[in-house]
Chain A
Amino acid sequence: MDFLRPASWEEALAAKAEHPTAVPIAGGTDVMVEINFDHRRPEYLLDLNRIGDLGEWEVGEKTVRLGASVPYTKIMEHLRGELPGLALASHTVASPQIRNRGGVGGNLGTASPAGDAHPALLSSGCEVEVESAARGVRMIPIDEFYLGVKRNALQADELIRAVHLPKADGPQQFSKVGTRNAMVIAVCAFGIALHPETRTVRTGIGSAAPTPVRAKEAEAFLAAALEEGGFWENGKIITPSVAKQFADLCSAACNPIDDVRGTASYRRHAVGIMARRTLGWAWESYRGQSARTEGVA
């Protein structure tokens, strides 16, 4: 195995063009596990740790440009206001040690349905900035990013440089079921973002389908129900029947399997419960009647 250590982004792109099978490594929290257990034997490892810009973020007027290697700990500490959904998701990633190393670029690169960042990324409506030496920068909408089990829209010569996330224009929530109270891989997960500016709702579901998915029917139903009842203006409590219908549609958006972590029917059930609860917390927050409903961690 050759270990490539580019000193700049340009060198990294050149190396990836020259060695399309090279596996990029930053925090190493996923790649190294695969290598240590011999599940993967890459010809080349492409170390991105010398490229400082990947670990930085910029808060713009409308969006946050989040470097692919910004560790989850930094997201929790510094971007809680701009990216509340992702900050909550970051908090559920593994252990403090892993959160100090791992970043969103790794979750996207691996594209496992169990990656904790995906539901928050999907519900935010972000874009992934990827680049190749040959064709330059390309922005991939998150909705088009996940193609299959551990498959994403990246070309062999492309690297993930950053994620552009809209700054939250409304409350966001994230919830994850695991069979332990910390440091646990998701049995299933759910993210929701209210977008009052566009009067839309976006969702993200993790570990309950071959890829991370949105519950689009649920989103459309809820947006229509909110619009129809004038909820965005009057800030009324969402009726239980609307919340239930939303939850049922979220369950229906799942296409889960039975595995050692849980049964398919439990995953459907749990996604529904999480959808109803996170909608409730987010809506309470929107109504401004609760000082804080995100959960204190």
Chain B
Amino acid sequence: MADTRTTGIPSKVTQGSQTKGGIGESTLRPDGILKVTGEFAYSSDMWHEDMLWGQILRSTVAHAEIVSIDTSEALATSGVYAVLTYEDLPTEVKNYGLEIQDTPVLAHGKVRHHGEPVALVAADHPETARRAAAKIKVEYKELPVITDEASATAPDAVLVHENRDDHHSGHVPHPNIVHRQPIIRGDVAKARERADVIVEGEYTFGMQDQAFLGPESGLAVPSEDGGVDLYVATQWLHSDLKQIAPVLGLPEDKVRMTLSGVGGAFGGREDLSMQIHACLLALRTGKPVKIVYNRFESFFGHVHRHPAKLYYEHGATKDGKLTHMKCKIVLDGGAYASASPAVVGNASSLSVGPYVIDDVDIEAIALYSNNPPCGAMRGFGAVQACFAYEAQMDKLADKLGMDRVEFRRLNAMEQGTIMPTGQPVDSPAPVAELLRRIKAMPLPPERQWESSEGADVRQLPGGLSNTTHGEGVVRGVGYAVGIKNVGFSEGFDDYSTAKVRMEVIAGEPVATVHTAMAEVGQGGVTVHAQIARTELGVHQVTIHPADTQVGSAGSTSASRQTYVTGGAVKNACELVREKVLEIGRRKMGTYHPAWATAELLLEGGKVVTDGGEVLADIVDVLEDEVVELEEEWRHRPTEAFDLTTGQGNGHVQYSFAAHRAVVEVDTELGLVKVIELACAQDVGKALNPLSVIGQIQGGTTQGLGVAVMEEIIVDPKTAKVRNPSFTDYLIPTILDTPTIPVDVLELADQHAPYGLRGIGEAPTLSSTPAVLAAIRNATGLELNKTPVRPEHLTGS
């Protein structure tokens, strides 16, 4: 600093610091007003002249052999153009799947879960298609259902999948186990001897649904070259493409995919839904085919969050230091693998939570069963673990007579901590600080329902249903903190691609950003424009629609898109900037010595030196030249976890959030009102602070949902879903959503673009156990299951 002053150079300008609408500003999302006013075109709004409507016939039973399928009556229905079954699949590739290709496009000889696709109909009207599908006669011979660990691993258990040859089949203890990941570190037996207190617990986590508001939908249009154009709401275009093309028998370049308006995802669109079905019908009939699920079908049309049983043992010394942890986590993956293996990897590697425990013995498995298939959902394995280990932390603190927050802070991990996988945490991990911050926030006032007019029922448990005017109401406060990995782990090549173009349009420099990133509501398109403004110093940025005409952007999941595709956009912009400057040097280098000697930036549509001197307008540099390039970008590589010890540098980055829940419980009726859910989270760098708050509040609310109401209920006798509707699968309304004060920390991760940290999932983890802890605090009940239902609180 002293040097720069003495040489008289003005204060240094950094790239992007002078351009408006760049990173760090809360620029507004381009789709915001359209969505609020109902004008946004979702995938279900698409229409094509002469299009047909596709309908899927789904199994009415969970586990059965298919004896026969008779499509004759459906085919004879006026208005029906095609009826397809397994027999009509055009190639030898008849299955798909994210990691293991075990999911039949259409059932072959057997159905393995309630609602499995059996046949397809295309007709000129959706009602005709629906009625024709109902005329297809399927004869089932029912098989016993596998519904839990005991029935899956019994000696005489029916195998959900016979003759497995996938890459996990060799190391699993039973063919009805998809994947098993142990993690062994230290010496639990020896560490256990040092423990003054030991706490055990058995926890149950219910099956949560993503409950995105826009049901699965898309439009497949056959093209003259024998290919198909598919417009669809998805989370990852290129992963879809890789699974679709082989089933259709088409090269990937003949299946052209374009993202259409996505109404939420939360993991539920990572697997295919209607994509192949619409394409098959379009190619068979030669007409555009649209498929739109209704809400009922949507509950069967995507994977859910794994329900789980978790068995934990922790020990601690009397001065409050954790000695060891043993756990077994049983995730129910349902009938098909989906993302189960990766969920197992997450659940095991994050099962200790954000704490320092050197001696651990961990095992996580995912079952094959006849329950609905489960896969990706916001929090991905870390959610279930957090629910259990946070309950354990409270039990330990209570047993030691310590403050629950101070006990956590005493054992909190920090930068430099070694994970149970042996991986060092090499960026900030402010766990103790997050806990300190939520505890320091002022508590909401007591008895807020009281007013001069009487009781304001909106502020009370039961809300508008007028169940209490204060009777039986007890307040409780609970704390929780969690750890989530960011990005795809375990050695996956988790890259993103960005194509960036810079040109002069109507006398102004314009940047175009083209990626295949699925905008599912997270605000990625907003952030891409901000990055382009910062890196290219322009105001006008066009975001090209996401499609497969550019390389993969990976999945919109794992809190990864701002990090990875954002990183790819940043990288591509930097390369474009260099090219623009090269052109400038070539054309104008002789006009001013700074072209050769200074560090040059693009700011406000101009080429400037890092001292702030303007050298040229970008318009004059480019004239009619266009700079465009497409580049892949990768974060640091990761490694697989060892199959017996679980050791390996498996994760890219970690993300931390902490919550304090304040609830009021009507202890007589068992009804809960969450009054406040305060959150503190480290985001590394808030690229768009408003979007950051939105993500944290949304994740918090989704965690609240599974704490007190959200659960897909499956009949254990039949494995059939009992509540596939928004009448009986409840998600929080605005009256259930509390005040959510958010405290954002920005401690840069030097390995990540701009120091940012993926943020979308962490708040979903700690929200649920914080609410449970608060309800336990209010009621004194143990409550080892989520969601909490009224009868759990009243004992009736």
C-alpha spacing A187/B294, complex, angstroms: 25
A187 to B671, CA, bound (A): 12
Query: Would you give the shortest CB distance from A143 to chain B, in whole angstroms?
Result: 24
B599 is an interface residue with CB less than 8 A from chain A = no
Among residues of A, the one whose C-beta sits closest to the C-beta of B668 is A273
Q: For the complex, give the distance between the alpha carbons of A178 and B467 in Å.
A: 10
- The reply to whether the CB of B727 lies closer than 8 angstroms to some CB of chain A is yes
Question: Known contacts A185-B728, A260-B722, A266-B796: does B713 contact A296 (CB below 8 Å)?
Answer: no
Chain A residues near B461: list those with CB within 8 A: 181
Indicate whether A177 sits within 8 Å of B467 (C-beta atoms), given known contacts A296-B451, A296-B455: yes
A296-B456 CB under 8 A given contacts A174-B466, A179-B789, A266-B794: yes
Also in contact, A175 and B794, with CB within 8 A (given A38-B130, A184-B730, A296-B454): no
Contacts A260-B723, A265-B791, A266-B796 given: A292-B466 contact, CB under 8 Å? no
- A145 adjacent to chain B (CB < 8 Å): no
A293 and B454: CB pair below 8 A? yes
Q: Does A36 contact B (CB under 8 A)?
A: yes
Q: Known contacts being A88-B466, A270-B790, A273-B668, is A179 close to B454, with CB within 8 Å? A: no
Interface residues as binary, B457-471 with A (CB distance below 8 Å gives 1, 0 otherwise) = 110011111111101
B92: Cβ under 8 A from any A Cβ: no
8 Å CB contacts to A: which residues of B714-733? 722-723, 727-728, 730, 732-733
User: Is residue B47 contacting chain A, with contact meaning CB distance below 8 A?
Assistant: no
Interface centre among A183, A187, A262, A294 (most CB of B within 10 A): A183
Closest to A258 in B: B791
A295 interface contact, C-beta 8 A? yes
Residue from A175, A261, A270, A274 within 8 A of B728 (CB atoms): A261
Residues of B within 8 A of A135 (CB): none
Q: Are A180 and B733 in contact (CB under 8 A)?
A: yes
A296 in contact with B457 given A36-B294, A261-B728 (CB within 8 Å):
yes
Q: Are B469 and A295 in contact (CB under 8 A)?
A: yes
Contact of B454 among A178, A185, A261, A295 (CB under 8 A): A295
> B410 on the interface (CB 8 Å rule)?
no
Q: Give the Cβ gap from A180 to chain B, nearest Cβ, in Å.
A: 5
The answer, yes or no, to whether B296 is at the interface (CB within 8 Å) is yes
Q: Does B577 count as interface, using CB distance less than 8 angstroms? A: no
- Total interface residues on B, CB under 8 Å, equals 45
Bound CA span A92–B467, Å: 11
Would B453 and A296 count as touching, CB distance under 8 A? yes
Query: How many residue pairs bridge A and B at CB < 8 Å?
Result: 125
Given the known interface contacts A262-B790, A266-B794, the answer about A181 and B454 at a Cβ–Cβ threshold of 8 Å is no
Query: Whose C-beta in chain A lies nearest to the C-beta of B451?
Result: A296
Label chain B's interface by main secondary structure: loop
* Chain A CB within 8 A of B199 CB: no
A263 at interface (Cβ–Cβ under 8 A)?
yes
B730 touches A297 (CB 8 A): no
CA gap between A36 and B727 in the complex, in Å: 14
Once bound together, how far apart are the Cα atoms of A268 and B451, in whole Å?
A: 32
CB < 8 Å neighbour of B735 from A179, A181, A295? A181
Asked whether B730 lies within 8 Å of A181 as measured between CB atoms, the reply is: no
Which residues in A have their C-beta under 8 angstroms from that of B733? 180-183
A258, chain B: closest CB distance, angstroms: 10
A261 to B130, CA, bound (A): 29
Cross-chain contact A92 with B466 (CB below 8 angstroms): yes
Closest chain A residue to B715, Cβ basis: A260
When distances are taken between beta carbons in the complex, the residues of chain A under 8 Å from B735 are 181-182
B709 in contact (CB, < 8 A): yes
> Is B600 located at the chain interface by the 8 A CB criterion?
no
Known A-B contacts A180-B730, A269-B796, A273-B668; the reply to A263 vs B467 at CB < 8 A is no
Q: Enumerate chain A residues within 8 angstroms of B728, measured Cβ to Cβ.
A: 185, 260-261
Judge if B547 is at the interface, Cβ distance under 8 Å: no
B458 — nearest CB in chain A belongs to which residue?
A: A297
A237 to chain B, nearest CB (A): 15
Taking a contact as CB atoms under 8 Å apart, the answer to whether A179 and B709 are in contact is yes
A176 at the interface (CB under 8 A from B): yes
- Contact status B458-A262, CB under 8 Å: no
- Whole-angstrom distance between the Cβ of A87 and the nearest chain B Cβ: 11
A179 x B464 contact (CB < 8 A): no
Question: Which of B130, B456, B469, B796 is close to A293, meaning CB atoms less than 8 Å apart?
Answer: B469
| 6 cross-chain pairs, A with B, having the tightest CB-CB distances, nearest first | A181-B463, A269-B796, A266-B791, A182-B735, A292-B454, A176-B465
Residues on A lying within 8 angstroms of B by beta carbon are: 36-38, 88, 91-92, 173-185, 187, 260-263, 265-266, 268-270, 273-274, 277, 280-281, 290-297
Pull 5 A–B residue pairs with CB atoms less than 8 Å apart, ordered by A.
A175-B465, A175-B466, A181-B458, A182-B733, A183-B733
